[in-house]
Amino acid sequence: MEKVKFSVILGCWNYGMFLPDALDSLLSQTYFPDEILFINDNSTDNTEEVFTRYLPRLYERGADKGVDITTIRNHKRLGTVQVMNLSYGAMRGEYGVYLSADDTHHPEYYAHAIKVLDENPKVGVVYPDIKLFGIYNQIWDMGDNYREKMKEGNCISGSSVFRKQVFWDVDGFRETQMEDYDFWKRVIEKWDAYHIPKPYISWRRHEFGVRSEGNDIERRINYGKS
């Protein structure tokens, strides 16, 4: 089987209204992925229609590297942890990233993060700063001192670029209240992390999401510690 360098996992549950922005941000990347895994977690809106409409553009954009695009349609909603374990386990890339359908990624994000991983074999995850947009706007400086920060709260986004090996090394995600925090805490026990001080990840704040304002306040305290 041909070696795959970089995979993007695009997850969606009833975010068809936001999916075009996520897909446009994917199409804008200066480093386009070798593999795209689209996970439709039993959406009941127009998610499938939107993604199907974008397929020709995705194939055209990745034609030079023969991009492989796979759609996984769940017949019942699995939720975050099962979707992450399913998709991270299935992806073929040496490196990967998760893009939620209601978020966007900066055009230079993947190229920058992949360069870091190529040059630093002990680094298992590359995490940038985060830009909030939508209901309210803010920039989160995630900071360099991740080992100290992670003792009190999370500073590594679930949309960070990672080596697939870290997933196997910690046996994937576990069912907890903050599954991404639990995952990355276990990862940094075995691997180094690398902070890029640029807001490459844009998180949409909206009334339809699982990220309520109250939850954001808690996460802001965790992510914003200096």
Q: pTM, whole model, 2 decimals?
A: 0.89
Write down the pLDDT at residue 167: 96
What's the pLDDT at 176? 84
Structure confidence by residue, pLDDT tens digits, 58-113? 999 999 999 999 999 888 888 888 888 988 999 999 999 999 999 999 999 999 99
pLDDT 10s digits, 172-193: 999 887 888 999 999 999 999 9
Lowest mean pLDDT among 81-85, 127-131, 162-166: 81-85
Domains and CATH numbers, the chain: 4-223 (3.90.550.10)
* 218 pLDDT higher than 80: no
32 CB-near residues (< 8 Å, 6+ apart): 61, 62, 65, 67, 110
208: pLDDT strictly greater than 70: no
pLDDT (0 to 100) of residue 13: 86
Q: Which pLDDT score is estimated for 199? A: 97
Question: Does the pLDDT at position 1 exceed 60?
Answer: no
Percent of the chain with pLDDT over 70: 90
Residues 6+ apart with CB under 8 A from 121: none
Beta carbons within 10 angstroms of residue 219's beta carbon = 20
The two structure tokens encoding residue 115: 């360069």
Strands 192-205 and 93-100: unpaired
Q: Which two tokens stand for residue 29?
A: 């990347």
Q: What is the mean pLDDT of residues 179-208?
A: 92
Nearest Cα to Cα of residue 79 among 208, 163, 218, 177:
177
| Torsion angles phi and psi, residue 49, rounded to 5 | -60, -45
Q: Is the pLDDT of residue 223 over 70?
A: no
Q: What is the pLDDT of residue 202?
A: 96
